[in-house]
Structure 1
Amino acid sequence: MLQELVDYLRCQSHSAVYATSLSPPVTEQILRAMKCIMGNNGSTEGIRRIRQLAENTKYFRARLKEMGFIIYGHEDSPVVPILLYMPGKVVAFAREMLERKIGVVVVGFPATPITEARARFCLSAAHTREMLNQVLHHMNEVGDLFCLKFSRRKHSSRPDLHDETGLEQSS
């Protein structure tokens, strides 16, 4: 299997075709990560992390939708693009999130069509529910501050009353 992976990387890797080859430490890191993910290292850590990432992704996307944000991308993708639409709000959004100590990537024209500016959150299996809730809390505030909630779906005016099962809690 190792030789097959090496051959594949040599033939298909962008760096092998257009730049220098992968360094040995990077190659080793890829091999160890793949062994972990596939369970070939004798542990279940890889599958646990994949499940946690899927859970974090599902939770984060669902909560943002509840708040009224429009989200692009595949439902299972841990890269969560939120539509900002107006180019003038991109920098203001990024600065506001930075002030709140939240890392987010913003993308606008010419990388996207002029009316499809967006912010992208990249989720990890290492993110805790507390971390996600903190970001969601700030997103709710910033979304209201900059009028970024464009969804026509009926959404909760009090997203903080929902637990992770999606059922409303009594207050």
Structure 2
Amino acid sequence: MRDRYDGQAGRDIFAKVEGFKITEQARAAQLYPFFQALDRNDGPEAEIYGRRVVMLGSNNYLGLTRHPRVIQAAHDALSDHGTSLTGSRLLNGTTHLHERLENKIAEFLGTEAALVFTTGYQTNLGVISSLVNRRSVAVVDKADHASIYDACQLAEGGMLRFRHNDARHLDRILSRIGEDKSCLVVVDGVFSMGGDIVDLPGIVDVCKRRQARLLVDDAHAIGVIGSGGRGTASHFGIDGAVDLTVGTFSKSFASVGGFVAGDRNVLEWIKHFARSMIFSASLPPASAAAALAALEVLMDEPELTDDVQRKGETLRNGLRDMGFDTGESQTPIIPVNIGDEVATVTFWRDLLERGVYTNPVIFPAVAMGKAILRTSCMATHTDEQIEFVLDQFQALGRKHGLLP
């Protein structure tokens, strides 16, 4: 989308800004859906424009942002360490809290070690760019998260893409890469827009046969699938088959930050060559403490994963039974495929007015004409809230001509 504004001649780099009027036009039509300021966030519900709404637009999958243990842990860390360490992990930005969090992640996932970054985005940026050099190739799923693509742009090596969730196509691509090139295959465990799960057994088999290393971004899988929320490899019963697992604290772990888990020697390399770690301030102690407490809650209450799966299944089946297209979703991430951008944003606006907060996803985040409403459930949603949401979707689906 940005490229269409790059045609202005001259030396002023701001010239293209003058032609960028689409957001102004959308606001005038009351169809601008982004950067909506919440008055209050209470997990499964929120307040916006003075109105209480059921929150289906959050990645707070386990509903732990309001858990007393998580809040208390953040308070205690603030008292002990202040608001920030104002330095990178390499220098003065590491505390015993960071190390305890890393050890607990490694214990949870059954890996030798884990390494904490300031954000999930920076994790992919640092891990991939530190490993993929001029003698390497990153091979990525077409539906992978934007941070993976940006990491490949930053890396010095090449990048190839394979068709979404197609292990056979991956195999063909890897077969054409010369023996002088090392390969890192990168996939999402749960895809953030479609809610579908990667064919990990197929991908693992190809990587083993083609001697490629495998990184799985489990940002939307940790806490959501697998035994006790341990993610994609656990979901398929192939723990240990993945070389590196990347995750985030901004979803199931009710905080902000990211991590990579794997063999200790690989992480030792990453921590000394990942520019996004070395040249960025570290994760604030309160955020680290909140993430650690959330992980401990999950380990103490693994049924939370069952709860969020059940809520997602209820919403997904309800929408499908009405006639909505929810794609290949197998998780509490449930897209409602509408197609037309204006129709999608109009539906979003009307849902919000009726007390349901969803996320419209339009071009260029998805292909033109493939717009969706992205919904996601929390373990803490009540059955009554899910029923209310389904009632609103049905009423508005008929009003907008999306349902018979």
TM bucket, shorter chain: 0.7 to 0.9
Query: 1:88 maps to which residue?
Result: 342
Q: Distance in 2 between matches of 1:25 and 1:93?
A: 38
Q: Distance in 2 between matches of 1:125 and 1:35?
A: 16
Query: 1:69 maps to which residue?
Result: 324
Q: Within the alignment, does 1:8 sit opposite 2:262 as a pair?
A: no
Q: Distance in 2 between matches of 1:127 and 1:69?
A: 21
Q: Distance in 2 between matches of 1:67 and 1:107?
A: 21
Q: Distance in 1 between matches of 2:328 and 2:380?
A: 21
C-alpha change, 1:25 and 1:115, in structure 2 (3 Å) is: same
Contact 1:15 1:22 in 2 (8 A): no
Q: Distance in 2 between matches of 1:69 and 1:15?
A: 36
Q: Distance in 2 between matches of 1:99 and 1:29?
A: 33
User: What percent identity do the matched residue pairs reach?
Assistant: 23
C-alpha change, 1:86 and 1:130, in structure 2 (3 Å) is: same
Query: 2:143 maps to which residue?
Result: none
Q: Distance in 1 between matches of 2:289 and 2:328?
A: 31
TM-score scaled to structure 1, two decimals?
Answer: 0.74
Give the residue type in structure 2 aligned to 1:72: G
Q: Which runs of 4+ in 1 moved over 3 A?
A: 3-7, 10-19
Contact 1:15 1:21 in 2 (8 A): no
Offset from partner CA, 1:13-54 (integer Å, 9 cap, x none): 544643432111111111111111112xxxxxx223222111
Q: Distance in 2 between matches of 1:79 and 1:123?
A: 7
Contact 2:118 2:281 in 1 (8 A): no
Deviation at 1:122, TM superposition (A): 1.8
Give the residue type in structure 2 aligned to 1:67: M
Matches within 5 A, 1:146-157: 146-149=400-403
Query: 2:394 maps to which residue?
Result: 140
Offset from partner CA, 1:61-102 (integer Å, 9 cap, x none): 011000000013531x22211101111202211110111011
Contact 1:61 1:80 in 2 (8 A): yes
TM-score scaled to structure 2, two decimals?
Answer: 0.33
Q: From 279, 293, 298, give the equivalent of 1:37.
A: 298
C-alpha change, 1:92 and 1:31, in structure 2 (3 Å) is: same
Pick the structure with more helix per residue.
1
Contact 1:79 1:123 in 2 (8 A): yes
C-alpha change, 1:13 and 1:125, in structure 2 (3 Å) is: closer
Query: 1:27 maps to which residue?
Result: 288
Query: 1:128 maps to which residue?
Result: 382
Q: Distance in 1 between matches of 2:335 and 2:341?
A: 15
Q: Specify every segment of 5 or more residues in structure 1 that has no aligned partner in the other structure, as ranges.
A: 40-45, 150-156, 158-171
Query: 2:40 maps to which residue?
Result: none
Query: 2:198 maps to which residue?
Result: none
Q: From 109, 112, 116, give the equivalent of 2:363.
A: 109
Pick the structure with more strand per residue.
2
C-alpha change, 1:54 and 1:93, in structure 2 (3 Å) is: same
Offset from partner CA, 1:105-140 (integer Å, 9 cap, x none): 001111110121000112111111110000000100
Query: 1:56 maps to which residue?
Result: 311
Q: Specify every segment of 5 or more residues in structure 2 that has no aligned partner in the other structure, as ranges.
A: 1-98, 106-112, 127-275
Count of residue pairs brought into register by the alignment: 143
C-alpha change, 1:143 and 1:28, in structure 2 (3 Å) is: same
